[in-house]
Every structure is written in C-alpha cells, then in structure tokens.
Chains A and B, each alone.
Chain A
C-alpha cells in the first residue's frame, strides 16, 4: 500500500517536472532589429537548426514575419481613413507614400501608415510650413491713429510695426537640403469707392511732422499713403470705409541639387476701417477761421 502511494507520488512529481522542463520557452537569441515600439523584428538565433524560440519572429526561425508594404492606392482620398485608423493627415503640399502592415501568414491586418519621401518638393513644402508659422498678422500703426477719423484730401499714412522682412528657412533629409525664401509685400487697401490698393515699399510709411510737406511725403515713390476724397456717414455711404492692410509673402525654394521652384503665397490681412470727415474752411478778410 505504501509502495503504491509512493509510486503514484513519483508519477505526479515526474509529470510536474516534465511540464516545467521541455515546455518552458527557450532562452532568446540576440535581437538584431527592433520596431519603434520596442518589439523585436529579427532574431539572430544562435543555434541554426535548433528548436525555434518561443514567440520569436524573424526569418531565421521560419515564423511569421510582418513588414510595411507600399500600396498603390492614395488613401488620402478616403475621408474615413484618418478617423478609422487614428492617422494624422500629411502636411499641405506634401506627396506621401502609403503602406499597409502585412504578415507572411497572410492574416488580415488593420494598420496603415504614410511616409514622406525626401524629395525637393516635399522638403520645400515642409520648410514652407515652418516659415508660415513665422508670418504674423500685420500690426498697423497709422497717421492719423487707428480709430481716428481722417480728413478729406489729407493723406493717411500706414506702417506695419511687426514687419518681418525676408524670411528664410531650410529643411534637410537624406543629404538633401532645401532653402525656402519668403519675401513680403505690403498693400494698403483704402476701400473707398473707386479707389485702388496702394502698393507700399517695405514696412510702409510713417508720417514725419518735421519732414517734407505732407503731400510730398505721401506722393513719394513707394509711400504707403492715401488721401480719402469722400466723407463717410452721409446718405449712400457707410460710416467708415472698410479698409485693410495686407502683407503677402511670395515664397520660392532652392534645393542643394540646384533645382528651384515657387510655392503658394501667404497673405495676412488686418482691417483698417476709417471714418472720413470734411472740414469747412471760411475765409474772413484773408484769414482762415
């Protein structure tokens, strides 16, 4: 009886040992390639021909291998792709390559990515995105000051106080660099009936009370000035002329390969409405009153 119980106990112990031994996952080899999430993609198995390691991937083990495969479809055309797969749309003006995650066992996969090839046009679009962030809304100073009515036929001067001048930036990848240049142009649009926009030089014009006569300053080449001719607030006219000041940056790029091109311009506009009053002058005995 005692011998039988001992034999039974032995068999149980032997069974436990068997389960704990050969079924145990073998020690891993050396991982030679990792995914961004820290998963091993390729294992360097130290004993070729030996049993594959438990869970080990990579071609050397003959197990399932997964990889990104370029697909011909432009998934950007599918408006649901961003939401369904938690993807971010690529930057404006960039050409991307779409890839799907596929595994050698042919199982269905549910992962996509887009990657941006390092072409001059793509790098230019990236650099453009960088400098667009440096383009401020125009901060306007004027004479008479903003919010103050001007007088018929007396020039209004306009200046941008946060003028950027020419902006340049570069983007590089894969040994290729692209430099993008943005050149600003200031325009003052009085928006008075029948008026034309004024193309200004540089940051505009500040009126100098100690300088040349006002009309002379206003008529100088590139001056950012305009003399309203029509008073506001009378029948058929608004209480203010809905003027504005715009800065438009023309953008061009040059690659280190010598290639060059242009990119869509960027315009920032600040409104500058202006009420216009008329001053009546009465001449009394040769003096003004």
Chain B
C-alpha cells in the first residue's frame, strides 16, 4: 500500500515536472547545435519543425554571451531614447519599440523607465555620448542561475555622457563606471530583461584595467 502510494506520488510529480519543463535545457531527444552567438538551434525530429532556443541559465558559459548580446542591445536602445527623451512618450516610436522588445511582454518596469525618460525630455535634458564616443557600454560580469529560465547577473557599465539643453549646451558630464544587477527571464526560449537595479561597482575591474 505504502509502495503504491509512493509510486503514485512519483508519477504525479514526474508528470508535473514534464509539464513544467518545456523549453528548458532538459528537452528530450532532439539534436542540438550551438550557434556562434550562444543561441541553440533545436530540431525536433518528430515534427520536423525548427525553433530557436537559447541556452538555459544553468549553462552559464553558454548563456553569458547571449546575455552580453542582450545588454549590448539594451545599451543601444537606451542611447537612442536618451538622444531625445521626448520620444519615450510615444510608445509607437522605433526607439521605444526597440527598447520594449528587450523586456518581457507588458513589463511595468520598462513602462516606468519610459515615463521617467519622458519627464527628462519635458525638462529639456538631452543625452549624447561624451569623449569615449559611446553613451554606455555594459559588460556582463557574472551570471547566477535562479533556474533554467531565470538568471541574475552583474553588469559593469562604462559611461561617457554629456547632458545638454535644447541648444546643445553641456549642462553636465558623467564618466566612469557604474554597475547594475539585472534579472532576465527566458520566455519561449528567448532571454528577455525583467528588471535592472543600480548596484555597487565592487565586482567591476578597476578603471583602466584590461577586461
């Protein structure tokens, strides 16, 4: 009786795990080829369809370049919005669309950031790259898997920022290194941002040190 109850429980658990694990690193049977960008192309023989699944957080070596690419696109999207933050109030603009595409659907976090940038635009503050030529450049330092589909990682950002008024007068200049703690989720096989939180730069290499 006890044995049957245990086996029954195991069956329930196994079914539950099977139902919840789709898209994770434990996909069964398909042949897998790792792409250069760190993404994984999976071909399922049973259906002969092709889908792209990026590596799980538990494979930190494989997922790190994927997250680095994600942060690179984040840097570009933010720089595009900050060039004229007034675009943030237009959710149909290409700059905003590119930014939102990096986040999970309906992200309230991304929505809040856009509202904040729109206020910057209303205040007449515009951002452009400083002498380094790039507003910000993020480097993923370490990835901590929270599960196969969720990762927390530290980012060091090298910044060179000029803040100007509408006439192009430089009102402020920022430079150096700041850091963030980022949470990303793998949704339908693709890594997306959930949120980014300002953090101590203690994990960042000292200024001027080779990375």
Contact = CB atoms under 8 A, between A and B. Distances in A.
Interface in B104-129: 108-109, 112-113, 116-117, 120, 127
B13 A110 contact: no
Contacts of B74: 38
Interface string A62-93: 00101000000000000000111111111100
B142 interface: no
A108 B163 CA distance: 25
A39 B112 contact: no
A7 B78 CA distance: 51
B153 to A, nearest CB: 9
A114 B172 contact: yes
Interface stretch (A12-20, A238-246, A263-271, A275-283): A12-20
A37 B169 contact: no
Interface stretch (B31-39, B61-69, B130-138): B130-138
Contacts of A82: 131
B177 interface: yes
B147 A13 contact: no
Contact of B195 (A40, A83, A105): A40
B198 A57 contact: yes
Interface in B170-211: 170-178, 180-183, 194-202, 204, 206-208
Interface in A28-45: 28, 30-41, 43
B60 to A, nearest CB: 15
A111 B204 CA distance: 12
B117 to A, nearest CB: 8
A173 B55 CA distance: 50
A126 B169 contact: yes
Contacts of B160: 86-87
B53 interface: no
Interface residues of A, number: 63
Interface string B149-171: 01010000111111101010111
Contacts of B109: 28, 31, 40
B199 A37 contact: no
Contacts of A13: 10, 13-14, 17
A54 interface: yes
Interface residues of A: mostly helix, strand, loop or mixed?
mixed
A24 interface: yes
A150 B155 CA distance: 72
Contact of A39 (B6, B197, B200, B202): B197
Nearest to A7: B6
A40 B131 contact: no
A163 interface: no
A221 B74 CA distance: 67
A212 to B, nearest CB: 46
B201 A54 contact: no
Q: Which among A16, A23, A55, A90 has the greatest number of chain B C-beta atoms within 10 A?
A: A55
Given A66-B178, A84-B207, A85-B207, A107 B202 contact: yes
Nearest to A41: B198
B101 interface: no
A109 interface: yes
A89 B157 CA distance: 21
A55 B130 contact: no
B183 A54 contact: yes
Given A38-B117, A66-B201, A87-B160, 9 more contacts: A34-B113, A36-B82, A38-B78, A41-B198, A55-B152, A56-B181, A66-B198, A101-B178, A126-B165
Across the A-B interface, give the 3 residue pairs with the lowest CB-CB distance, nearest first.
Answer: A111-B176, A86-B160, A55-B181
6 contacts: A19-B147, A35-B178, A105-B200, A109-B177, A111-B174, A112-B176
Interface of B: 3, 6-7, 9-10, 13-14, 17, 74, 78, 82, 108-109, 112-113, 116-117, 120, 127, 130-132, 136, 146-148, 150, 152, 157-163, 165, 167, 169-178, 180-183, 194-202, 204, 206-208
